[in-house]
Amino acid sequence: MPSSSVRPEVGDEEDDLDLARHEDPSRCYHLDGHPFTTAEHQLLSTMTPAEIAAAKAQMRLEDEWERELDAMKDAFVELLMKYFARLPKGSVVSNAVAIMTDEDRTEYERLVKIVTAQDTLEYLAEHGEN
C-alpha cells in the first residue's frame, strides 16, 4: 500500500477546523467551538503543500456533497408537497405516502434515508445514493 503524504494528525486537525468561526481571527477553532491549543495551531502551521492540496480537495468534495444533499432535500420536499396539495389540512407524511404512486414511493424511500440521517454527509459517504 502506498504511503500517504498527509500526516494523519494533520488530517484530523484539518477535518475539525471550523473555517466559519471568526471571534478571534488570530485563532483557529474546532467545529465544536473550542479554540485550538497552541500545539494544535503549531501543527497546522507545519502543513506541507501536499497536505494543503489534500485539505482543499476534501473541502471541494464536501462542498459538492452539500450541494447534492441540498438538491435531494429540495426534491424530497417537492415530492411530499405534490401529495400534500391533494390532502386535507392537518394531514401528515404517512397520509401523503399512502397515496403515492409506486414510483414516487420508491423515490421517497430512497430520499428519506438520506435527508433524515443524523449525519447526512457521512451517510452518503458510507451508503452512496442506494
Write the DSSP assignment of 56-88 as a string of letters.
HHHHHHHHHHHHHHHHHHHHHHHHHHHHHTTSP
Given this model, what pLDDT does residue 109 score? 95
SS3 17: strand
Ranges of the chain whose pLDDT falls below 70:
1-4, 120-130
Count the residues in the chain. 130
Which pTM was predicted?
A: 0.66
